[in-house]
């Protein structure tokens, strides 16, 4: 089953003009017409089974209407989340209503809501949503609306994580669109989910694979940002990622590890993985040798240098120094 966790749709009567307006901001044309029917047609072409629709509330006055529209899509091929604005004073009541409507989560968009993500108003909403068991999805990183004034940076998101400790927070666009060095610095390894909305054909593949490897594939949600990305194309991109199915299974096994991992203390980037191989246990043709081949391939594809040392070898310090110099 393929679930697209990040899509958008609008009521039929406003979909056309909404996409026209957003196309002017994005400088791009949509791949679907922004309606429920258009999203379903796109899903059919891409063999997507379920799409999660994420509404963006830009004004307090929109909240009730957006959530009424969303409440019609609580099951079936398209499941909508609700919406809320940080300036809503009665946010607790709105969140309870969202829960009562059968909606499973909310979407926040700091750039379009003109508020920075580490504001106490967002923290209160996320905390209350978490208490209700609602998922919170947040646009993170650069947005074409205000690319020089990012309203949800990875550093802001880390502050919210530390302050609120939410159970179900999803930072869209791999934690921070076009800010992935900071994602690795502040967010990788934290209790937070990322989605792949709109980034699979723009993010450097080596960095994408490295974040998946370091953060854990179980905390990466497939998303397209349809209609601003082609679902069929994104499914194909994901299927052709260099890790094989067997490598994916091996990498996700909680018992899979490296013996030592050296990383940069400042930016937390992995610099060198070290494996210490026993002389008999790792002989060619053994089960362990087969695992070594998988591990070598995975680390190479994730751009993590690997040094193998033997238990009967010598000069380990010099070998490690030389390996680090090459990097």
Measure the CA–CA gap between 188 and 180, rounded to whole angstroms: 10
Q: How confident is the model at residue 167, as a pLDDT?
A: 93
pLDDT at residue 9, as a whole number: 98
Digits of tens for pLDDT over the chain (327 positions)?
Answer: 999 999 999 999 999 999 999 999 999 999 999 999 999 999 999 999 999 999 999 999 999 999 999 999 999 999 999 999 999 999 999 999 999 999 999 999 999 999 999 999 999 999 999 999 999 999 999 999 999 999 999 999 999 999 999 999 999 999 999 999 999 999 999 999 999 999 998 999 889 988 988 898 889 999 999 999 999 999 998 877 776 667 777 776 777 888 998 987 776 678 899 999 876 666 666 777 788 888 888 887 777 889 999 888 888 889 999 988 875
Q: What is the total residue count of the chain?
A: 327
Cα 63 to Cα 45: distance, rounded to the nearest angstrom: 32
Handedness of CA 231, 232, 235, 238 (dihedral sign): negative
220 closest CA partner among 187, 245, 246, 186:
187
CA trace torsion 210, 161, 252, 212 (10° rounding): -20
DSSP run (H or E) holding 52: strand 50-53
Cα–Cα separations (whole angstroms), residue 130 to 67, 106, 208, 267, 295: 18, 11, 28, 30, 37
Diameter over CA atoms, the chain: 73
Structural domains of the chain, with CATH? 3-241 (3.20.20.140), 253-326 (no CATH)
Q: Collect contacts of 175-179 with beta carbons under 8 A, ≥24 apart.
A: 175/140, 175/141, 175/211, 176/140, 176/141, 176/142, 176/152, 177/140, 177/141, 177/142, 177/143, 178/141, 178/142, 178/202, 179/140, 179/141, 179/142, 179/150, 179/153, 179/154
User: Which residues touch 180 (CB under 8 Å, ≥6 apart)?
Assistant: 174, 203, 204, 207, 211
157, exposed or middle or buried, with CB in 10 Å at 0-12, 13-18, 19+?
buried
- pLDDT at residue 252, rounded to an integer: 67
Which pair of tokens denotes residue 125? 């909403």
If we measure between CA atoms, which residue out of 298, 211, 305 comes closest to residue 246?
A: 298
- Report the pLDDT value the prediction gives residue 268, as an integer from 0 to 100: 64
Which residue shows structure tokens 């004004």?
59
Distance of alpha carbon 14 from alpha carbon 59, whole angstroms:
16
- Taking the model in full, what pTM does it have? 0.76
Query: If DSSP codes are grouped into helix, strand and coil, which group holds residue 53?
Result: strand
């Amino acid at each position: 089953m393929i679930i697209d966790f990040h899509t958008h749709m609008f009521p039929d009567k406003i979909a056309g003009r909404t996409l026209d307006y957003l196309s002017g901001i994005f400088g791009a044309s949509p791949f679907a017409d922004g309606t429920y029917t258009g999203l379903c047609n796109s899903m059919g072409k891409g063999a997507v089974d379920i799409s999660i629709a994420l509404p963006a509330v830009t004004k307090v006055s929109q909240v009730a209407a957006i959530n009424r529209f969303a409440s019609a899509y609580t099951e079936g091929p398209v499941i909508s989340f609700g919406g809320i604005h940080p300036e809503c004073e009665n946010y607790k009541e709105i969140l309870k209503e969202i829960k009562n409507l059968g909606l499973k989560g909310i979407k926040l968009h700091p750039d379009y809501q003109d508020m920075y993500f580490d504001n106490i108003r967002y923290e209160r909403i996320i905390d209350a949503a978490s208490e209700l068991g609602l998922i919170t999805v947040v646009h993170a990183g650069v947005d074409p609306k205000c690319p020089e004034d990012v309203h949800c940076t990875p550093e802001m998101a880390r502050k919210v994580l530390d302050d609120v400790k939410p159970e179900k927070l999803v930072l869209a666009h791999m934690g921070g669109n076009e800010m992935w060095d900071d994602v690795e610095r502040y967010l990788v390894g934290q209790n937070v989910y990322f989605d792949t909305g709109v980034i699979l054909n723009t993010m450097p593949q080596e960095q994408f694979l490295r974040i998946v490897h370091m953060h854990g594939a179980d905390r990466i949600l497939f998303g397209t940002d349809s209609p601003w990305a082609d679902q069929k194309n994104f499914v194909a991109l994901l299927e052709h990622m260099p890790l094989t199915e067997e490598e994916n299974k091996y990498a996700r096994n909680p018992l899979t590890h490296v013996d030592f991992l050296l990383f940069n203390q400042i930016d937390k980037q992995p610099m060198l993985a070290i494996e210490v191989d026993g002389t008999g246990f790792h002989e060619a043709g053994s089960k362990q040798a087969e695992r070594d081949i998988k591990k070598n391939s995975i680390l190479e594809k994730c751009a993590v240098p690997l040094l193998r040392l033997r238990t009967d070898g010598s000069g380990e310090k010099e070998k490690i120094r030389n390996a680090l110099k090459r990097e």
